Structure formats: C-alpha cells, structure tokens
Structure 1
Amino acid sequence: MRGYFRRLVAACVDRMGIGAGLRWKLSAAIALVGALVAIALSLVVHNAARVSMLDNARDLADERIMIAQRNYELSGRLNFPNTKIDDPELPKALREKTEAGRRATYVADRPDGSPDIWAAVPLKNGHVMSLHSGFTDHSSDILKDLDQALVIGSIAVVLGGSALGVLIGGHLSRRLRKAASAANRVAKGETDVRVREAIGGVVRDETDDLASAVDAMADALRQRLEAERRVTADIAHELRTPVTGLLTAAELLPPGRPTELVLDRARAMRTLVEDVLEVARLDSASERAELQDILLGQFVARRVAAKDPDATVRVVHESEVTTDPRRLERVLFNLLANAARHGRPPVEVTVEGRVIRVRDHGPGFPDALLAEGPSRFRTGSADRAGRGHGLGLTIAAGQARVLGARLTFRNVRPAGAPESTPPEGAAAVLWLPEHAPTNTGSYPVLGQ
C-alpha cells in the first residue's frame, strides 16, 4: 500500500511538473499576441492616417480647381499652377465623370506607390480643366514619422509583453515547483509537509486549489494506510495467542506423520503472524536502531555460515560500521532466504566496505519488484510461482530503512547485453550509511 501511495502522489507531481520553460512559453505567447495586436493596430492606424491625408489632399485639390475655374472664366487665361485644359493624361474614370457634367477628384497610384491627386471640372465651352498634383513632401514626412512611431511602439509592446510574461510565468513556475517539491516530500513519507503551506503567497489561484487537492488526497491516503496498518496489527496480535496455543497443543500429539504435518503448518502460521506484526511495526515508523560498532566482514561471514553453509562469502574490503546487529542480521537472513527460495545456487555474498551484496543464479527479480520495490504478499519469484508470502523482502526493506541504509535490487546480465536478454541471476545490495541513523524513516529504501 505504501508503494501505491508513493506512485499516486508521484503521478500528481508529474502532472504539476508542467515544464521547465513555463515562463518562457508564457512570455513567448504574450509576446506573440502582443506582436499580432501591434501589427494589426499599426496597419489600421497607418491606413486611417493615409486615407485621412488623401481626403484632405482631394478637398484641397477640389478647392483649387474651383478657384482656377473662376479665374479662367473671368480672365480667359489659364494662370493657375498645375492646371491644364483637356489634359490627355487625365484618368479615364475622372474623364467619364466630367463628361457627365460633374466636378470630381481622383487618386491614382504611381508605380513607386506614391499617390497622384487629380481634380477636374467641365467648362462652359465644353472643355475640361484638370489639376494634377502629388502627395506633398510634408504629408509624406508625416506618414513616415507615423510609421516609425508605430514600429517603435510595436517593439516596445512586444518587449513589455515578454517581460510581463517572464514575471507572471516565473511566479507561476516557482509556485508549481514548490508544490511539486512538497508533494515529492510527501511521497517519501514526510507526514508533516503541507503543499498548500509550501507554496505560500497571499493571492489564491488554481495553484492553491491544486495544492489543497493534493493535501486532501495525501491526508485521505495517510488515514487509510494508518487504518489498514492498525487492522493488520490487531488481527495479527489477536491471532498470536490462539496460534501459540495451537502449536503447544500440536506438540503434545503422539509422534507420527500427521503430527509432523500439523506442527509444520502451525509453525508456518506462527512465523506468518510474527512477520505481519513486524511489518506493522515497521510501517508505524516507531522502530529505533540499537547501535553497536562491528566489523562488517566478520559479522557477515559468521551469520552467513550459520544461516546457509552452502553460500560463499567474500570480503573484499573490511570496514568497521556503527549499526544495529540484530536488524542487520534480519536483513541479511531475509535476503539469503529469498535467494535460496526463488533463485538457484550458488549464492554469493560479497562485502566491500559498507556494501553487502547477495547474488544468486536464478531467473532474476520480476519487473514489478524492480520498478516499485518489494511489496507484501508478492513474492520475489519472477514467475510468481515461488513459495512464501512476499513478506521477507518487505521486512528487509523496512529494517534497512530503520538502519538508515539503502536497499537496491537488480538483475544480473552479461556485460553489454540488452535488457531483453534473460538474466543470469538476481542481486540485492545493501548500502550501509556512513553515519549512524538518528531517526526512523529518514533514509528512503530505493528500488533499482
């Protein structure tokens, strides 16, 4: 159940880990939107200013053609600048309007994109007077200055949007990272960590809702785990007395094969009850190591010889360690029992400094154990057909945690062989800490 709790919290952490580039993604999004808005507004403003200037130029051309018409009709002479009578270059659209007896203006674009302003009016004698002028230099300068101002403004908007995106994204990213870090600590068993308090801040947003949901989930799972642990411990405790009585009664039976079978099953049941109680105590995180100084190589060699004389022990490098001999012996015996039950001989034990390695030559550990670590009532047999209840490795992992040690599991393959190659054995490695543990559960037991 503890492994399930870790996996569920880790899944929430993965979901919160939106990405290292959140601030830059948000900045790029704001900058892109700002750039698009700035470009659209610049085009609208540019076109509106150009249309307004052209309208003013056409109005001015219309006023000038009216003045030129009056002067011509009064004096009979064409003395207004840029005016002509029956100009052959007069645009066709403007000529059609004057033939209909209308005074009109017209804007034509030159090949270089600059506008030509035309104005024309029909005369009483049947001729057409026209005025041809271009966009004034002053108007062109104004339009260029406006375009320059729009470009500078657009760049400022993009840069400002990028900076704003970095600030907003950075704030959100920091809160999410704090939440992920706190959730990871919860997944490692730190029961006093609250994600909502870890992210801090006075402004409530979706991050607070997510943190509150993770806290509520962690509390619910913690309560469920505690309830299951209490139920398991209570059941095992209640079973201890009748099982002990059953074993005592079986020992009083007359000798024979039936008596041996009853005694064997009664002893197995007593062992199971004791193991379940031990797992419950380890889950409660109330166990403390009773430390002593020992020579690790000598200690392992004597214990292995007593437990499994067929196993070989090799001390590569002797080391003096401060640990709990009883718990270390429990871990070592459970690893040897697992190798003997689910592996194949020879079983090899290697001691190198503070590291103990137990290796067999069987089918290897199952993938689930390698990925998630040992779990109660799941055996260490790759084909899951082995004997036992899967409590041996669970107890070994719990005792290693009390010792402040790290217990890893891996399958042994030839050097350079791919993962698809069948393993040549399984290896459990116990890494004792350099310094003695100070409290229970402060060092995680990892699967590898």
Structure 2
Amino acid sequence: MDLTRTAAEALDAADSLAGFRAHFAGTEDDGPGRLIYLDGNSLGRMPRDTPAVLARVVEQEWARDLVGSWASWIGEATRVGDILAEGVLGAGPGEVLVGDSTSVNLYKLLVAGAAARPGRDVLVSCADDFPTDRYIVAGVARDRGMTVREVPADLDEGLDPAALAAALDERVAVVVLSHVAYRSGALADLPAITRLVHDAGALVLWDLSHSAGAVPAGLSGSGADLAVGCTYKYLNGGPGAPAFLYVRRELQEELRSPIQGWFGQRDQFAMGPVYDPAPGIERFGVGTPPVLGMATVEVGARLVAEAGVERLAAKGRTMTALMIGLADAWLAPHGVLLASPRDAERRGSHVTLAHPQAWQLTQALIAAQVVPDFRTPHRLRLGPAPLYTRFVDVWDAMDRLRTVLADGVHEGFPAEPSRVT
C-alpha cells in the first residue's frame, strides 16, 4: 500500500462517498491545523440537517400542533425502525423497534429469550464484551437462578469460535455477543456463529453498537434471532439518542417482554386491567417514545442508508488498512503495537494501538487537535467514520501522532489516573 500523502489524496479524489462529508457539521476547515475527529465510534458528528429537523418537531409539531401531533408520533418507533431495518441492518419490515437504551433493550430481549428456552439454565457471554452487557447477563442469571459461562477472548484478536463451541451444550439458553469488539474492533463472523449457536438449540443476542452503520449485519440473511444497538456512533443520532432492538419475525409471538409497558399493549388506549402483548415487534415497546431523539436518529439513518453499508464498510477497511500501514512504518519503532486484527476482513471500522503510555498519548493527541479515545489496558483507539472522514485526515492524524512520539510531547502529560479507590 502506498503510504504517501499524495496517495491518500488520490484515494479521496476517487472516493464515491466523498460528497457525504458536506452533510456534517465541523467538516469545513481543511487547513493544516484543523481538528481531526477520530472518535466517530464513540459519538458521531452532527448531520447538518439535524437542527432543522429538531426545530420542525419543536416549533411546529409540539409548539403549534400540541397533543394533536401524537397521531403521527405514536408510530415513530416502528417507522424509524423500518428505515434502520432496510437501510442499515439487513432486516425486514416490522423486525426493528426504536426506543429505550441499548442496556434496557438488551435486558428485555435477554429475559424474553431465556424464558423461551425452559429447562435450560445457562447464559453465555464473552469475557471481553462491553462491561454493561456482561453486567446485565450476570444480573439476569442471578435473578433467574441461572449460571453464566464467560468465554475467554483475545484482547486484540477477539472471540475464537472454537472456544465458544466448547461452551455450548443442551443447557445453554441464550448467547450474548458483540458483533464488533468495543476495544479492538475485532469483527465476529455473525452468520457462522449464529449457526453454531442454533446447532446447540440456543438463541443468540447480538450487540451491534460498534457495527451498525459501519459494517453489514445482514440479520435476516444470517438467521439472527435477536439484536440491539445504539444510534449515536456511526448512525450519528446524537448523545443519548434512543437505541434499537431487533427480533426475528418468527420469534416475535413466542417471546414476551419482561417490562410490560402500555406501548407494548395490544389495545393501548382501552386502558384495560390486564396486560395483553401487542402482535409483532410493538410488543417490545415500553413507555412514551422519545420523539425528539427519534427525529435525529432518522436523519442519521437515512444518510447511512443512502451511502450504503457495503460501501461504508469497504471504505472503512481501506482507511483502517492505511492507518495500520502508517503505524507499522512510523510508530512501531517507538514501541507502538497493533491491538486490532491485521486481516481487514476481521476488523470493524476502528483500529486500536497499544503503548505503555497510551493515556498520555491520548492527551497529547487531543492537544495536537486530533480526537481519539483511550481504553484500558493501555490502548489508544482511533475510529475514522467512513461517512465523513477522509484519507488525508487519517494520514495527517498519524503524522501528528508520529511527531508526538518522536518529540516526546506525551512525556509532559500526567500518567493515567488511578481507578482504585
């Protein structure tokens, strides 16, 4: 791979997605000292259309039309869910619902899935999955008198399917896994692992938080049972934007949400004395939908759908390959190690680098107008978002990191704060 800046400029010139950059705020500055944002895998940039959409909902639908707007608002969770299903997740209409947080949705689907496998008393999770996912699995197991089997995973290479296979038997009810590892960016083989879990008679619940909008999920084609994910990373829904959940159509009537809210009730406005779950995906609704948040999710989801997840994934693979090539050439002599899969087919859209002073490097990069983030242990995570990050942004960011290391700038920053109290 040609690692010159001229080659990066050529990649930008040939990029069929280049026009999407103009849809995002904060991308106007092309100067040499500009801010380079490489944390799109934590919080995506704001689409330029978002303020106008929010203003419409606030000033017209709320301020002017008041409660009359509920006629349209009440169906937003499924309408926006269908946009995500078709344009982002590879699912069918009526299989995705928007609302609540990723954690709440994970809880709902995990409890529902465990109840649908009576006689099975084991939940399986991955030891390197996002902490909240593991905490919820542990809590559900405790409350239901079940056992948790945590499958080990390599911090950099991700889950080994053989290790998962060894944990599966007739006692397993539900397996909870991340499609893309939050720390390393390791990409799990969703279709193959789904088949493996099904062969054991269990259900699989996927967390798509670090993959939705960056790599294809292909939920329907893979036979995936259940999935959840957030919308504020690659989907650019904004901080605190509502999450989504997916339930395969064939499972919907079999599963029952443990949170019996009135938005999951069959005849919602009859205000009846007994809970009767609505048919289809709506039975997983709980309370009043977050109307403002869903409006912002729709803006981001439509941009991703227009760009096409396959094209976004292809660009993400090339950007991260450039990042890895530059790290090998420039940063390895300074003790920086790759902490992500080297094989592009096994990576999501972010790259993680390991260094004993990763915390100080993170702070020095921020001071140098590059925004990454830090993950324990000693990891610097770099997340170029294919919708708005350019190849020259990747090149320039790595060049600034090279300078920080060569000049020892990071040595002037305090060590990572102790988290022991």
Normalising by structure 1, we get a TM-score of 0.21
Is the radius of gyration larger for structure 1 or structure 2? Answer: 1
Normalising by structure 2, we get a TM-score of 0.22
